[in-house]
Amino acid sequence: AGTDLVRRDAQAEDAQTNPYPVDMALLKRGHDRYMIYCMPCHSPAGDGDGLVVRRGFPAPPTYHQDRLRNAPDRHIYDVIRNGYGVMAPYGDRVEPADRWAIVAFVRALQLSQHADAASLPPDVRAHLGAQP
């Protein structure tokens, strides 16, 4: 079992795009890890206005800017692992598979703020149209 874990971590570490199927289990794991490691700075919505930012820590960029929406998945993975700017590296705390789960969740956050309304199901579009 230990050998399988090492192999899985090595494969995750070498991947350029998310090597796992993006399903509800992966998104839930990503959400759980995000809330622990990322949310204090990045906020629940990923806009960079987390609680520690509100208390004076430098704000990270919003995930919803074009630069990060268009960044390769591997960029987000590497930032989690290595840190970036004032962000500390989390490679010693977040295992490779969980980094990819966080990447999947960040992509879902981005989609939540930038979905094309025409691609939504009719009932959802109707609900959006009813909003003031």
Taking only the tens place, the pLDDT of each residue in 9-34 is 888 899 999 999 999 999 999 999 99
* Contact assessment for residue 87 and residue 58, using Cβ atoms and an 8 Å cutoff: no
**Contact residues for 128 (Cβ-Cβ < 8 A; gap 6+):** 117, 120
Distance (Å, rounded) from C-alpha 22 to C-alpha 75?
18
* pLDDT the model gives residue 3: 84
pLDDT tens-place string over residues 74-108: 999 999 999 999 999 999 999 999 999 999 999 99
The model's pTM: 0.86
* Residue among 97, 87, 11 nearest 48 (CA): 87
pLDDT tens-place string over residues 27-74: 999 999 999 999 999 999 999 999 999 999 999 999 999 999 999 999
Domains in the chain, start-ordered, CATH in brackets? 20-114 (1.10.760.10)
